[in-house]
Amino acid sequence: MSCVISVLVLLLSSASTNTRDNNVYGVCDGHPGIPGTPGRNGHPGMVGRDGRNGRDGMPGVPGQKGDAGTQGVHGPMGEPGVAGPSGPAGEKGVKGDGVISYNSAFSAKRSKSHIAPLLNEPVQFDVVIHNDQRHYDAVTGKFTCEIPGLYYFVVHSTVFKTSLQFDIMKNNVSISSFFQYYGNWSKPVSLSGGALMRLDPKDQVWVQVTVGDYNGIYSSTKTDSTFTGFLVYSDWQNAQFLI
């Protein structure tokens, strides 16, 4: 204790004379002090920030093409789908241009009389059955073509009391001729004949008796003799189909 007091006195009196590098000389050494208590552990430091992303590496060399794989097994067929409901009906379209229809037809018969027709003159079938286009003249017995084309004409005649031969004439040329012999039968018989011909406008067709002894065209209340003709097809109509 005396040594400690001596040191303090010396330090106070001459703080600068015997000090060098914070060491006091000329004072006796003391005993080692008691070890201090260990300090507490420090708190953990804050987490450091993430480092920057490195640069992308160079692309690698492409590998070799691999072998083709085996073909897979076909899958099962799917079930058919269910048909959907029908849609609504569409609107009706605009009516198109129709093909022009050409018509020409007539039919006539002789009146109920026993008068024989005139030789080499058109036979008059004076009772008109059909003649909408008025191409047949019941007064002259002639049909006059107004529409060019193919026509068919036919005559159905009752033969009684004498034989009959008649011709279907076109412009004073006989197109076809028909004959029926009468053998004094008690009842009338019939004679029919027809012809197909092409006509131009103003061509005329009629029936004609050419032999005086064979003029037995007959008609009565129970039997008729008729002359009929009609257009099969028109050349004008065929020309439209070729356009």
User: In b/e form, how buried is each residue of 208-228, taking b as 16+ CB within 10 angstroms?
Assistant: bbeeeebbbbbbeeebbbbbb
52, exposed or middle or buried, with CB in 10 Å at 0-12, 13-18, 19+?
Answer: exposed
Number of neighbouring beta carbons within 10 Å of residue 234: 19
% of the chain at pLDDT higher than 90: 41
Write out pLDDT tens, residues 201-237: 999 999 999 888 898 888 888 899 999 999 999 988 5
Residue 21 predicted with pLDDT over 70: no
Of residues 242, 237, 217, the one with CA closest to residue 227: 217
| The amino acid at 133 | Q
Residue bearing the bigger pLDDT, 8 or 170: 170
Residue bearing the bigger pLDDT, 210 or 146: 146
Give 178's DSSP letter. E
Rounded distance, CA 18 to CA 210, Å? 188
- The tokens for 83 are 């048909």
Residue 157 predicted with pLDDT over 70: yes
Task: Parse the chain into domains and list their residue ranges.
Answer: 1-28, 105-241
Write out pLDDT tens, residues 86-142: 888 888 877 656 667 899 999 999 997 767 788 899 999 999 999 999 999 999 999
Which stretches of the chain are assigned E, i.e. beta strand? 19-20, 23-24, 105-109, 127-130, 136-137, 142-144, 149-170, 173-180, 189-199, 204-209, 215-218, 226-234
Query: Has this prediction a pTM greater than 0.75?
Result: no
User: Is the distance from CB of 224 to CB of 109 less than 8 angstroms?
Assistant: yes
For the segment(s) 105-241, the CATH number from 2.60.120.40, 2.40.30.10, 3.40.50.740, 3.40.1010.20 is 2.60.120.40
226 forms beta bridges with: 109, 156
Q: Using DSSP, state whether 161 is helix, strand or coil.
A: strand
Per-residue confidence (pLDDT) for residue 241, from 0 to 100: 41
Per-residue confidence (pLDDT) for residue 18, from 0 to 100: 46
Whole-number average pLDDT of the chain = 83
User: Is the distance from CB of 231 to CB of 102 less than 8 angstroms?
Assistant: yes
The mean pLDDT value for 148-153 works out to: 98
